[in-house]
Amino acid sequence: MVRNIGSFYAEATPIEGLRLRGTFSFDQFSNTQQRYYDQRRGVFEANQGVPYSGEGNTYRRRINENINIVKEFLIGYNKAFGDHSIDLILNAMDQKVQWNNTQFGIDQNSPLPDWDQRRIDEGWAREDKGLLFERSPSGLQGYMGRLSYNYNSKYYLDATVRRDGTSKFGHGYKWGTFPSFGAAWRISSENFANQSFINDLKLRIGWGKTGNQETRDFAYLSLVNFNPVYALGSGGSAIGDGLIQSAAALGDFPIVDMSWETVTTSNIGIDALMFNNRLSLTMEYYRRYTDGILQTINIPQVIGALSQPVVNLANVDNRGFELQGSFENNLGPFNYSIGANLTTVRNRVSNLYQGRPSGGNYDRIEEGRSMNFLRGYITDGIFQTEEEVANWLEANDDPGYEAQKSPGDIRFVDIQGPPEASDGENAFFSPNPDGRVDAFDQTFIGKTIPGYYYGINLGLKYNNFDFTIDFRGMGDVQRIFTNGLQSVGAGGGNFLVDYLDRWTPTNPSNTIPRAITDDPSGNNRIADRHVTDAGFFRFQNFQLGYNVSGNLLSRLGVSNLRVYMMGQNLLVFSPFPGLDPENDTTPTTYIMGVNLGF
Amino acid sequence: MKNIYYIISFIICAGFIFTSCDDSTIELDPIGDTEAGFFQTEDQMTQAVLGVYQKVTFFYTFRGGQNNFLQGIWQLPSDDLTTEANHAYEFFSGLNGNNGQLNNFYRFSYQLISRANTLLEKIEENGTIAYENQPELRDYHRGEALFLRSWMYFRLWNTYGTAPLVKERIVALENAFPPNSQGTELLDQAINDLEEAAQLLPEIWDDANSGRVTRNSALGFRGKILVFRGTVAGDNTDFISAIQDFDAMNGVSLTANYGDNFNAAMENNEESLFEFQANNQSSMNNAFLDNDSFAVVGDIGAYYGQFARRPTWIGNAVYSATPSLINEFDKEDPRINYIFDMEPGLVTNVVKYIKDGNWTDAPGGANGSSRNNPRILRYADVLLLKAEAIVRSGGNLSDAITIINQIRERARMSVENGIPSPEPADYSLSGMDDNTVLDWIFKERRMELACEEGHRWYDLRRRHMAGEIDLLTWDFDSKRIDLEFEDYHVNFPLPEIEVIENENMNQNAGY
């Protein structure tokens, strides 16, 4: 693996306040993998035990390259006259990204005995040689202008316009314009607000658009897929094999008018510093409105496409409050600080592409709901008697899941049906039960975007000791968790002890269905009974440090010496029954260290 | 000195301005062809034709799991093959719109249809330019697209009954919500298309192209679909037309030995009308990857592992011949040896296509993927359909019986030691009524075509729909205790997601 990162710039200041700056930066990253398989390796493989017969050695080399080149040119001008000052920036940017994948290999049938050959071409039949070269280019260009003005450090105005073009979209859809505007009023600079306990008080508002273009390259084009092959005639490698011919097919269903996803952010906030800078407070209300979020959609199978098209799928509205506060003070020889923050999120989807919902059980997108919500069936416990089953079957159809329905199976609830004319034009279900349990009965069962996040941090200093501790958490969020709740099928693996408590005629459980192979009653369908609270409160971090000081150090030329101990991801408190509500694989880490500076 | 620094800086800066104004950064063309630049030459058109054929592969490959291969959809529902596995089309009661294999069958079907429709569209649009050097290919290609699309319509009708009829390439999302097809609409379209295909396709392809469909393929297949439609719609003219199509075929005949039809060394022979051209090249077939997504490793073989328990971990997803099928044969019928392994107590007792390891790859390779071509349409099938059409259209019964006897004679000759077997004996040519002869035909079809292309299920299905037999009381001889056939099971469920998202389409009744 080799990586080169570099950046050059040249800057000129022809007159006072004016600067011209050109920047050229590149990032080249390559990853090379070489493989050699010895035919005799079979001796060491548990299922083989002897060398592979009829094979020789295999050589392979794979090289992945990423090249990212950015060129920028900036003109900046600033000037102050009297109480007025302005700052103007014009910037042009050009970015080229190239990804290359080169692979070659010589598979099997090699007479060469080991990897240390200078030339590995000899001795192979043509059909044993493989070569692949893939490339994928993309590019981005942007122009930006920003004008900032401030009057006497009291009023601030800031206006920006960006215009960005990308290779990701088709002709006529490549360019987007993104203006933004900000204003601030430093109230504390006004005479009437000149209170001694206020150090700084600022009211600010902002409004702006940004663009997002990240999606599959050339998603707007119908590309020819040359992967298919078909064999004709005879004369292949064995009797019955034909000669392989290259074939072609169109696999895309491009939506040509896909274009920039635009995020419009508006916010209003107050920043305050009080009591000798000891107390800091920030309050903000924000709204982030994403217009045309870029996402792939499932399209009807009758189209016969191989890939999913990318569309500007929906508008997503995020809004909420952000509150932050911190306080710092001395108490005798101690210095302590305490900080907290809270962010609330209300997420709503609107204006779906062609009015069509998309996504599955874990990432459903529907009008009026939060993005990627959890969707599934509603259940009502478990059948306890044959009579309950018979009564249920009397009232409900459950296609394909009826034949073996019996006590111990989940009782699903018919809540909705197929849309009728009276449900309106874009309805995709009817709120009236139709006597059948089917996909129309799946509904909102939980959300994956937390309703709020928060964090708390504490700090303490005493002489040369310092100690910090961080907590963070989130709430109003759910996850689907199926462990221990599904029908136990045939053997072949380990089972959770939870299953000892499954439904049996003598153990009438209402949570875990009976044991039966192949789940003929569809008990395992994702439903409300799988939804669990994934909120948590996490002891994220602590650090205890000691700064060694003294004449001895300076005499040794050491400018600082710090000894510390820290821990990360220490504890999590959550109703979630799995290992971790966020990520099972995040480790708990303890670090002891010494920082030495000369 | 300072001035020089400024000048150099300025030149560099100006250089950046100049290069930044160039549009080439974002006006990129992809590496490789786009639709707009393709379909311009005979070679490209031929590649597109093979792209339609290639999709046939998906119906026969392993697809990497015991619940992924699709052959069960047509092999299991009948009384010929059975399994203990949870393959719902074996026992019907577990069928619903979330069946993975049925959903894949649907998806692949419309992918093939889409490729055929695209090709037909491009032949119309670019035909004059693209076929400048070999104008005759234009007709051949159109004929091939129509044939393959018809094959798909036929399979869709036999599987779902009411799957939508898509005759044109769909390029706008608002056109992607077609209604169910009604009655025999899918068959009607196939019959029309194959009539045209029979006029367009060549009599024969050169050796390098053998395996592509011919005029005989189109005639034989059209006749077959006519007999199917005639059975359920009860229209006599269908049988008359079918006989005309069968009679118009020439140059096809039964092979000398029944077993030649399942021998990898005898593919595309004189009896063959349409085969999937299976291949199994070393380092080519990865039975876990498809042949659309990867250039060199996709699966292009035919899977027979359900008859050989390959790979071993597929567990109980193996198919066995029912006693009811085995008992249909006369004890000394030589065909038995080519279809069954008669060793008592065997679960994997079907050897068609995998008899003797040398026909395939030991047999069927570790993953059950084989180079032996599934014979999708062969002349023996056509002959028996002709006999059926004769009986159903009130023709001369002795003509029909002669055809059955032709099949039975070939069976008697299909012995390894050269001495013809006494069984199955010829039927008497006279003194029979229609129903007896029809029963003979279906018995012969069951034996002759056993465990091949779902012939038995398709026959049972159309006869039940026509009211000739009653599957509600049928003995399917299944290993499943939960087998429960109801009238609506003649049509399998459409994919639930397709039905839900398409307000113009309804799920088949019962599901």
Question: Under an 8 A CB cutoff, do B497 and A135 touch?
Answer: no
| Mean pLDDT to the nearest integer, A50-63 | 77
CA A400 to chain centre: 37
Question: Under an 8 A CB cutoff, do B265 and A72 touch?
Answer: no
Asked if A95 and A67 count as a contact pair (C-beta separation under 8 A), the reply is no
Dump pLDDT digits (tens) for A547-595: 887 777 778 777 788 999 999 999 999 999 988 999 888 899 999 999 8
**Percent of chain A beyond pLDDT 70?**
96
Q: Point out the residue among B36, B47, B106 whose CB comes nearest to the CB of A247.
A: B47
Q: Which residues contact A494 (CB under 8 A, 6 or more apart)?
A: none
| Per-residue model confidence (pLDDT) at position B363 | 46
| Per-residue model confidence (pLDDT) at position B1 | 47
Fill in the amino acid letter for A439.
Answer: A
Q: Is the pLDDT assigned to residue A495 strictly greater than 90? A: no
- H/E segment holding residue B397: helix B397-413
Question: Under an 8 A CB cutoff, do A228 and B212 touch?
Answer: no
A152 backbone φψ class: left, alpha, beta (φ>0; ψ -120 to 50): left
Which stretches of B300-350 are DSSP H helices? 323-326, 335-339
Asked if B338 and B259 count as a contact pair (C-beta separation under 8 A), the reply is yes
Nearest-angstrom CA–CA distance, B109 and B164: 11
| Mean pLDDT to the nearest integer, A117-133 | 72
Domains of chain B in sequence order: 42-480 (1.25.40.390)
Residue of A nearest to B173 (CA): A299
Picking from A230, A244, A397 by the largest number of B CB atoms within 10 A of its own CB, the best residue to mutate is: A230
Residue of B nearest to A440 (CA): B500
Dump pLDDT digits (tens) for A172-184: 999 999 999 999 9
| Mean pLDDT to the nearest integer, B228-251 | 96
Q: Is the pLDDT assigned to residue B358 strictly greater than 80? A: no
Q: What is the pTM of this model?
A: 0.90
- Rounded to a whole number of angstroms, the distance from the CA of B281 to the nearest CA of chain A is 6
DSSP, res B80: S
CA-angle at B287, arms to B283 and B290, nearest 5°: 100
- Rounded to a whole number of angstroms, the distance from the CA of B460 to the nearest CA of chain A is 22
Chain A neighbors of B50, CB-CB under 8 A: 228-230, 232, 245-248
Question: Which CA distances in Å does B321 have to A220, A239, B21, B347, B452?
Answer: 51, 28, 72, 8, 12
Mean of per-residue pLDDT scores for chain B: 91
Q: Point out the residue among A239, A246, A250 whose CB comes nearest to the CB of B265.
A: A239
Chain B neighbors of A404, CB-CB under 8 A: 93, 482
| Per-residue model confidence (pLDDT) at position B10 | 57
Reported residue count of chain B is 511
Beta bridge partners of A377: A527
User: What is the band of A117 on the pLDDT scale with cuts at 50, 70, 90?
Assistant: confident
Q: Which of B177, B182, B337 is nearest to B262 (CA)?
A: B337
| Mean pLDDT to the nearest integer, B116-141 | 96
Strands A589-597 and B320-321: unpaired
- Of A108 and A158, the structure prediction assigns the larger pLDDT to A158
Q: Is the pLDDT assigned to residue A104 strictly greater than 90? A: no
Please give the ipTM for the structure prediction.
0.93
Chain A neighbors of B371, CB-CB under 8 A: 236, 238, 240-241
User: What is the band of B54 on the pLDDT scale with cuts at 50, 70, 90?
Assistant: very high
Q: Point out the residue among A73, A96, A234 whose CB comes nearest to the CB of B13.
A: A73
Dump pLDDT digits (tens) for B9-51: 555 555 555 555 567 888 888 877 899 999 999 999 999 999 9
Q: Is the pLDDT assigned to residue A194 strictly greater than 80? A: no
Nearest-angstrom CA–CA distance, A222 and A309: 10
Q: Residues 478..507 of B with a Cβ closer than 8 Å to A: which?
A: 482, 484, 493, 495-498, 500-503
- Rounded to a whole number of angstroms, the distance from the CA of B388 to the nearest CA of chain A is 33
Interface contacts A/B by beta carbons within 8 Å: 288
| Mean pLDDT to the nearest integer, B360-364 | 49
Cβ-based burial of A549 (10 A; exposed 0-12, middle 13-18, buried ≥19):
middle
Dump pLDDT digits (tens) for A518-535: 888 999 999 999 999 999
Q: Residues 118..147 of B with a Cβ closer than 8 Å to A: which?
A: 118
Q: Is the pLDDT assigned to residue B362 strictly greater than 60? A: no
Nearest-angstrom CA–CA distance, A274 and A268: 20
Strand spans (E) along B379-428? none
Helix and strand counts by DSSP (H, E) for chain A: 2, 30
CA-angle at A465, arms to A461 and A468, nearest 5°: 55
Question: Which CA distances in Å does B66 have to A523, B100, B282, B399, B421?
Answer: 21, 11, 23, 45, 39
| Per-residue model confidence (pLDDT) at position A381 | 93
| Per-residue model confidence (pLDDT) at position B283 | 59
Window from A278-292, A347-361, B280-294 with minimum mean pLDDT = B280-294
| Mean pLDDT to the nearest integer, B61-88 | 94
Residue of B nearest to A437 (CA): B511
| Per-residue model confidence (pLDDT) at position B427 | 96
Q: Point out the residue among B91, B280, B502 whose CB comes nearest to the CB of A241.
A: B280
Q: What is the 3-state secondary structure (H, E, C) of A425-487?
A: CCCCCECCCCCECCHHHCEEEECCCCCEEEEEEEEEEECCEEEEEEEEEEECCEEECCCCCCC
